Amino acid sequence: MSTFKAPKGTYDLLPPDSEEFLAVREALSAPLRRAGYGYVETPGFEDVELFARGVGESTDIVTKEMYTLTTKGGSRLALRPEGTASVLRAALEANLHRAGNLPVKLWYSGSYYRYERPQKGRYRHFSQIGAEAIGAEDPALDAELIVLAVDAHRALGLREVRLLLNSLGDRTCRPVYRERLQEFLRGLDLDEETRRRAEINPLRVLDDKRPAVRAQLADAPLLRDHLCEPCRGYHARVRDLLDAAGVAYEDDPALVRGLDYYTRTTFEFVHDGLGAQAAIGGGGRYDGLSEMIGGPALPSVGWALGVDRTVLALRAEEVAPAVPAATDVYAVPLGEQASAALFGLVTELRRSGVAADLAYGGKGLKNAMKSAGRSGARWAVIAGERDLAEGVVQLKDLTTGKQEAMDPREVGAEVLKRLETAVPMSSTVPER
């Protein structure tokens, strides 16, 4: 056993759990690729100011949760706590918005880092799939992204995910609400830090999860009562499009989320099977973020879905995502000559699209067949010196136990034919 362990609040992703995570990533990203979103990958760390300006200096992410470092040259960097600011920075740096084909539609996948109190489903290192549509103000884009996330959840088999929806207004109507909310908050019994936050961005207080604070917010003014007509109309259009797409949602006038850059459409996906930490993803429109980080006006919308959180939701519903077989055929050589022959056969099987593995290390028949069973293979190919002398190998069905001699040149075609007609093997939900 190593003397080192994974840092507190992080985890190692190993088989078989890793196969489940890979299946979730594939399911969450597949609808995006079909809708014209191109893949983008950004560095794991960025200039601290990118997040301070974009995410917001008053947010917990910036004030408490960012991992920061100073380079030997004196630059201040931060491990990325979220994806949107980095993706927008990359798009601006590459001048993608000047190509004349707006919106720029991008999706990403990666690890993110926040110094949070570790708990089930909340880690200091976590994985997300995200999507951004940059450079267009259109309710159809907001609705499109929401529908794509809903379709991904349905494809995974999730049925208990709820969609919460709200509008945060814009630079026209939100200042009026901001003043009204600050006036209300000044009359509450709040600690000094929360009072300071209320003066910088009072909407952050609405996102406070502490019971003592939440109890005082019951009569707080609601932003929906202060929306200007354009924002009210925009939100109504988003709702109409979701209705037309058959997407159920719940209006949540208190939904603000934890980032300062959101405007107008804001949404969150929650799963009640996860307890107090129910959110599995969310997003919204961020029409002013480009200008906050030094770019031109580029109205945009996006979301991020937690891979870790989605896996927990699947387990809460006892749903197992479809995971490709790690091994279809397990080759068992008995002797050096057989090992060379089956190595070549396994190579050909893999090249033809069959998942195949080989018993290494000179295992005897009994131990090799145990390994075949543990691998999850459906068939074993067994060959000894006598088989090779007769020009055959033994193809054994590990489900029925039936075994038959076969020309090794025909094994690949036969296995592919059987795979096409085989009933999918049942999968189980891994336990944690």
pLDDT digits (tens, 9 = 90+) for 124-142: 999 999 999 999 999 999 9
Query: Would you state the pLDDT for residue 426?
Result: 40
Query: Would you state the pLDDT for residue 427?
Result: 42
Q: What's the domain count of the chain?
A: 2
Q: Per-residue pLDDT averaged across 59-67, rounded?
A: 77
- Does any domain span residue 179? no
* Binding-site annotation: residue ranges: 82-84, 114, 128, 132, 257, 261-262
Residue 344 burial (10 A CB sphere; 0-12, 13-18, 19+): exposed
Residue 429 scores a pLDDT above 50: no
Same domain, 130 and 48: yes
Confidence of residue 70 (pLDDT cuts 50, 70, 90): very high
pLDDT digits (tens, 9 = 90+) for 398-410: 999 999 999 988 9
Q: Which residue has the higher pLDDT, 170 or 260?
A: 170
Same domain, 335 and 280: no
What is the reported pTM? 0.87
CA 411 to chain CA mean position, Å: 39
Query: Would you state the pLDDT for residue 110?
Result: 94
- Does any domain span residue 152? yes
pLDDT digits (tens, 9 = 90+) for 354-376: 999 999 988 899 999 999 998 88
- Does any domain span residue 122? yes
Residue 2 scores a pLDDT above 80: no
- Does any domain span residue 107? yes
Domain that holds residue 80: 17-173+227-316
* Whether 307 contacts 128, CB under 8 Å: yes
Confidence of residue 260 (pLDDT cuts 50, 70, 90): low
Q: Per-residue pLDDT averaged across 70-88, rounded?
A: 94
Residue 430 scores a pLDDT above 60: no
Same domain, 294 and 341: no
Mean pLDDT of the residues in the chain: 90
Same domain, 351 and 278: no
Same domain, 284 and 309: yes
Sheet holding 104-113, edge to edge: 38-39, 104-113, 125-134, 300-306, 279-285, 263-271, 161-167, 250-251
Same domain, 273 and 377: no
Domain end marker among 316, 351, 382: 316
Query: Would you state the pLDDT for residue 276?
Result: 74
- Does any domain span residue 85? yes
Same domain, 309 and 353: no
Closest CA to 286 of 259, 262, 256, 258: 262
β-strand pairing of 38-39 with 104-113: parallel
Query: Would you state the pLDDT for residue 425?
Result: 47
Residue 244 scores a pLDDT above 50: yes
* Whether 287 contacts 300, CB under 8 Å: yes
pLDDT digits (tens, 9 = 90+) for 11-60: 899 988 899 999 999 999 999 999 999 999 999 999 999 988 877 665 66
Lowest average pLDDT, out of 176-190, 252-266, 309-323, goes to 252-266
Same domain, 376 and 234: no
Sheet holding 356-358, edge to edge: 356-358, 329-333, 379-383, 393-397, 403-406
- Does any domain span residue 4? no
- Does any domain span residue 197? no
Same domain, 91 and 134: yes
Residue 388 scores a pLDDT above 60: yes
Same domain, 34 and 117: yes
Domain of 293, CATH number, reads: 3.30.930.10
Domain of 375, CATH number, reads: 3.40.50.800
Q: Is the peptide bond before 324 cis (omega within 30 degrees of 0)?
A: no
Query: Would you state the pLDDT for residue 419?
Result: 85
- Does any domain span residue 243? yes
Same domain, 271 and 335: no
Domain end marker among 285, 316, 347: 316
Same domain, 371 and 307: no
Q: Within 13 Å of residue 300, how many CA atoms lie on the same side as its CB?
A: 31
Give me the residue label for tokens 């019951």.
218
* Binding-site annotation: residue ranges for L-histidine: 82-84, 114, 128, 132, 257, 261-262
Domain end marker among 254, 286, 316: 316
